[in-house]
């Protein structure tokens, strides 16, 4: 508990740093100044606080979604971006944009969640048909499925001149987050809380159908419940800020190495470390090329890809 408190304190410190970094000068002295205080306060309330809250919510939720997927598939190399879930959500957004462009944001999120759920279910169905001789087969199947879905999405986006919109959905970017444009992410907090309440059942489901059924658990129901949470979280994040690759892969693996596989114990750690990693990537993206900004999806792709290779090359036997 003491270590978790330290982790939360570190996330708080990163959040404060995030509040003070940006193209516009913002400092404690400026906030207290009688001349510049009103302008600084407006920047803080309209832009900086919403952005920092969005970073925390998105990082926390995507890390939790990755943990759930790893539990349900019994594979440490699976997360929404290696299972076709993110790509399916993007296809759903493109479909809505083509046929009902005036649909409210919540409607687009629900449509993307439906496509994400269908894509994830297809991924699990393929896994049942493919002989899994290695733990690496599972993410490879997901990456291939995601590549096919992404190719279909790109084709129709190019055909109907929507490539710019597609790039916005597939690149995590928080630069456009303002008050009134991120509040949908609060839904992910409620979904993460639901996952925590159902953590014991999800842990049992992760031990396999036979084991869970023998303990009286409705295996299909709890798996469907977990997949709905993953799909809703993925769709909400993609609709609001775009895709953040590898986040749900790296954080649960690091936490699992630290404290084990009990989901109820691991989930607070996963949420805290997910938020912290996103905040770190955001700070890096804003200071490397200051005053310009590198999208967080790019930074996350570099860091996450490197750590993914480390897990593949050095931790393959343990993580399988």
Confidence of residue 204 (pLDDT cuts 50, 70, 90): confident
Q: Distance from CA of residue 27 to its chain's centroid? A: 30
Cβ partners under 8 Å of residue 180, min gap 6 = none
Q: What pLDDT, on a 0 to 100 scale, did the predictor assign at position 35?
A: 54
Confidence of residue 95 (pLDDT cuts 50, 70, 90): very high
Average pLDDT of the chain, as a whole number? 83
Question: 219-240 and 105-129 are packed helices; what angle lies between their axes, rounded to 10 degrees?
Answer: 130
Q: What pLDDT, on a 0 to 100 scale, did the predictor assign at position 153?
A: 92
Sign of CA dihedral 303, 316, 262, 85: positive
Gyration radius from the chain CA atoms: 20
> For 124-162, how does the pLDDT look when each residue is reduced to its tens digit (9 = 90+)?
888 888 776 666 778 888 888 999 999 999 999 998 888
Residue 310 and residue 318 in contact, taking contact as beta carbons nearer than 8 Å: no
Q: Phi/psi at 131 (nearest 5 deg)?
A: -70, 120
For residue 176, which of 184, 165, 168 has the smallest C-alpha distance?
168
Q: What pLDDT, on a 0 to 100 scale, did the predictor assign at position 115?
A: 93
Per-residue CA distances from 152 to 108, 145, 252, 267, 292 (Å): 19, 11, 30, 35, 33
Confidence of residue 319 (pLDDT cuts 50, 70, 90): very low
Tokens, residue 302: 């570099």
Tokens, residue 250: 């790296």
**Strands annotated E in the chain:** none
d(CA 220, CA 222): 6
> For 288-305, how does the pLDDT look when each residue is reduced to its tens digit (9 = 90+)?
877 778 888 888 888 888
First vs last C-alpha separation in the chain: 28
Range with the poorest average pLDDT among 21-35, 39-53, 205-219, 227-241: 21-35
d(CA 38, CA 275): 29
Q: How large is the average pLDDT for residues 243-258?
A: 86
- Three-state secondary-structure class, residue 141: helix
Range among 24-38, 200-214, 244-258 with highest mean pLDDT value: 244-258
For residue 149, which of 84, 203, 93 has the smallest C-alpha distance?
84
Tokens, residue 45: 């309330």
The percent of residues in the chain predicted with pLDDT above 90, rounded, is: 18
Q: What pLDDT, on a 0 to 100 scale, did the predictor assign at position 308?
A: 76
Residue 139 and residue 253 in contact, taking contact as beta carbons nearer than 8 Å: no
Going along the chain from its start, the domains and CATH numbers come out as 54-170+177-310 (1.10.3470.10)
Residue 100: pLDDT above 60?
Answer: yes
Residue 200: pLDDT above 90?
Answer: no
Q: Phi/psi at 25 (nearest 5 deg)?
A: -65, 130
d(CA 108, CA 239): 7
Taking the CA of residue 125 as centre, how many other CA atoms within 13 Å lie in the half-sphere pointing to its CB? 7
Please count the other Cβ atoms lying within 10 Å of the Cβ belonging to residue 40: 21
Range with the poorest average pLDDT among 70-74, 85-89, 241-245, 307-311: 307-311
Which single residue is written with the structure tokens 């919540």? 106
């Amino acid at each position: 508990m003491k270590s978790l408190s330290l982790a939360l304190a570190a996330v708080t410190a990163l959040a404060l740093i995030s509040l003070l970094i940006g193209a516009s000068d913002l400092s404690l002295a400026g906030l207290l100044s009688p001349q510049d205080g009103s302008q600084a306060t407006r920047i803080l309330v309209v832009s900086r606080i919403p952005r920092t809250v969005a970073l925390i919510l998105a990082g926390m939720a995507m890390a939790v979604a990755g943990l759930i997927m790893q539990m349900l598939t019994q594979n440490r190399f699976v997360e929404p971006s290696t299972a076709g879930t993110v790509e399916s959500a993007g296809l759903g957004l493109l479909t809505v944009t083509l046929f009902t462009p005036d649909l409210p944001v919540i409607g687009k999120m629900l449509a993307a969640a439906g496509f994400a759920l269908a894509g994830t279910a297809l991924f699990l169905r393929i896994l049942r048909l493919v002989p899994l001789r290695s733990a690496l087969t599972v993410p490879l199947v997901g990456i291939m499925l995601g590549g096919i879905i992404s190719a279909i999405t790109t084709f129709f986006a190019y055909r109907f001149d929507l490539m710019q919109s597609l790039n916005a959905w597939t690149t995590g970017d928080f630069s456009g987050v303002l008050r009134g444009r991120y509040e949908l992410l609060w839904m992910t907090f409620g979904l993460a809380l639901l996952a925590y309440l159902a953590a014991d059942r999800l842990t049992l489901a992760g031990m396999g159908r036979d084991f869970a059924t023998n303990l009286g658990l409705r295996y299909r129901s709890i798996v469907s419940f977990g997949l709905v949470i993953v799909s809703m979280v993925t769709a909400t994040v993609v609709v609001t800020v775009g895709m953040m690759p590898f986040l749900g892969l790296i954080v649960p693996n690091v936490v699992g190495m630290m404290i084990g596989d009990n989901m109820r114990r691991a989930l607070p750690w996963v949420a805290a470390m997910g938020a912290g990693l996103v905040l770190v990537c955001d700070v890096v993206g804003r200071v490397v090329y200051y005053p310009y900004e590198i999208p967080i999806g790019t930074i996350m792709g570099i860091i996450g890809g490197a750590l993914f290779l480390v897990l593949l090359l050095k931790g393959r036997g343990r993580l399988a």
